[in-house]
Amino acid sequence: MKTLLLLGLAALSPTLLAAQTTADSAATTATKPLTGYGFVDGYYGYDFTGQSQTRPGFLYSHSRANEFALNNVVLGLRYQDERVRGAVALHTGTYVEANYAAEPAVLRHVYEAYAGFRPFHKAWLDVGIFSSHIGFESALSKDNWTLTRSIMAENSPYYESGARLSYEVGPKLTLTGLVLNGWQNLRETNRAKALGWQLQWKPTDKLLLNSSSFYGNEQPRDSARRRRYFHDLYLSYAATDRLSLAAVFDVGAQQRSAGQRGTDTWYAGTALARYQFSPKWAAAARYEFYRAERGVVIRSLSPLPTDADFRVGGGSVNVDYAPAANVLVRVEGRVLRSPNRPFANDAEQPTTRYANVTSSVALSF
């Protein structure tokens, strides 16, 4: 019996060794601190309004029309262990061309680059370039319910540079404080620093509430100081296993130029609904509006008189198909209207309506 037992163990030993090796490898992979990631978003957009290949100046994502283009291509590395984390990533595409035009050429293709550590338990301090703490939508289309971005998302920061301290108060509440170079500035434009803060509260598994704010002077160094105040509030709710709802509201104010009293204000809102028909098919609808007194913040991006208010509203519907876990195919139709006539028709004349269809194939890894 003893001999048979020894023979049996000898026969099983290669299998047991292989199983242990596989388990060790899986454990190592699960705890591997350095990971690579990438994203590619190819698209074709057709505009029914006008023949221009450039969409309105206040739209940055999927900004080309009537041509095949790459919206955003991202390639990067992230590192994180129990005490240290960081990231370095580069990007290119029409999103970068449109959204980073005012940045120094040497920095335009930096998607994120930061280093961080835990100053104490449940807290992270990061310094560098990172995604904005403002808004429901991000620069990567795969993370958003709609293919194109709302006007409010396009005209608030996508990225920031500075320092951020985040603290996990508990499993349901996270607080973040930031000191920044400015309102979507990679490089400082004056000697003043901007401040930001964020509160994310998830009282239940279905409900998320976010409050984000910004305060700073956004004028060049040789201009008079004009303080900017801004607040973004959104909530998302998983009504059922298939239906998700979200509401977003922004409000901001900026001091008027020297010699003028008061502030110019702007406010915007978006309501979204998303329905998951099956693991591969989903659809989403969006209603949005944007109002800016005297065209504040958005004035230089549209052909408005200096004292005119900027008003745009509209909606969109998109259908999503995921043939694989890391591939997303999307088609979206969108209509915008404005009494300010910031759009152009076939004859390059101002018009009140703008309509387009945008299609995209996005790969992430």
Determine contact, residues 165/177, Cβ cutoff 8 Å: yes
Q: pTM here? A: 0.86
Q: What is the pLDDT of residue 285?
A: 98
What does the alpha-carbon distance between residue 189 and residue 147 come to, in Å, rounded to a whole number? 32
Spell out the alpha helix ranges (H) of 139-196: 151-154
Q: What is the pLDDT of residue 10?
A: 38
Q: What angle do CA 212, 214, 219 make, to 5 degrees?
A: 155
* Cβ count within 10 A of residue 11: 9
Question: Residue 291 has which token pair?
Answer: 């109002």
Q: What is the DSSP letter of 66?
A: S
* Maximum alpha-carbon separation in the chain: 102
Q: What are the pLDDT digits (tens) for 249-293?
A: 999 999 887 677 889 999 999 999 999 999 999 999 999 999 998
Q: What is the pLDDT of residue 226?
A: 82
Helix/strand/coil for 161: strand
Q: What is the domain partition of the chain in residue ranges?
A: 127-364
Q: What is the pLDDT of residue 60?
A: 93
CATH ID of 127-364, from 3.20.20.140, 2.40.160.10, 1.10.10.10, 2.70.98.10: 2.40.160.10
The residue ranges of the chain whose pLDDT is under 70 are: 1-31, 50-51, 221-224, 258, 299-307, 345-348
Conformational region of residue 259, where left means phi above 0, alpha means psi within -120 to 50, and beta covers everything else? left
